[in-house]
Structure 1
Amino acid sequence: MEHTLRWQKSTFSDGGNGNTCVELASTPTTLHLRESDDPTTVLTTTRTPLTHLLHVIRTGSL
């Protein structure tokens, strides 16, 4: 089954022209991340590795 990606902008976007933020879209099995100023480059991952990366960044253990 094909899913149409519905992109959501980060709440931390600058609010100006809206082109300097991270956008997220998800399907039942994957997460997709892109920058608004370069929407053709998309990082695709699953929840587990992204959760681990965010934990490492937040705790400063990177």
Structure 2
Amino acid sequence: MTIHWRKSSYSGGANDDVCVELARLQQGIGVRDSKEPEGDRLTVDPAAFGMLVEEIKRGALDRP
């Protein structure tokens, strides 16, 4: 299986190297630091990742 890592379309500018990258993996959604592509990776359940994205879109994580 070929893994295609992607950065957000909002990445860029002076801090282009301060990003996370995401990929669809057999086990779930892969998350890694763009500065260390061969470093540690986190794998997240797709349903849990989807819930996180929805919370971010709703602004729920901005609250104390």
Query: How many residues are aligned here?
Result: 60
For structure 2, the 5+ residue unaligned runs are: none
**Identity over the aligned pairs, expressed in percent?**
35
The equivalent residue for 2:49 is 50
- What is the CA–CA distance in structure 2 between the aligned matches of 1:13 and 1:24, rounded to whole Å? 13
TM-score (structure 2 length as normaliser) = 0.65
Correspondence 1:36 to 2:34: yes
For structure 1, the 5+ residue unaligned runs are: none
Aligned residue among 1, 4, 18 for 2:2: 4
TM-score (structure 1 length as normaliser) = 0.67
Structure 1 runs (4+) greater than 6 angstroms displaced? none
The equivalent residue for 1:25 is 23
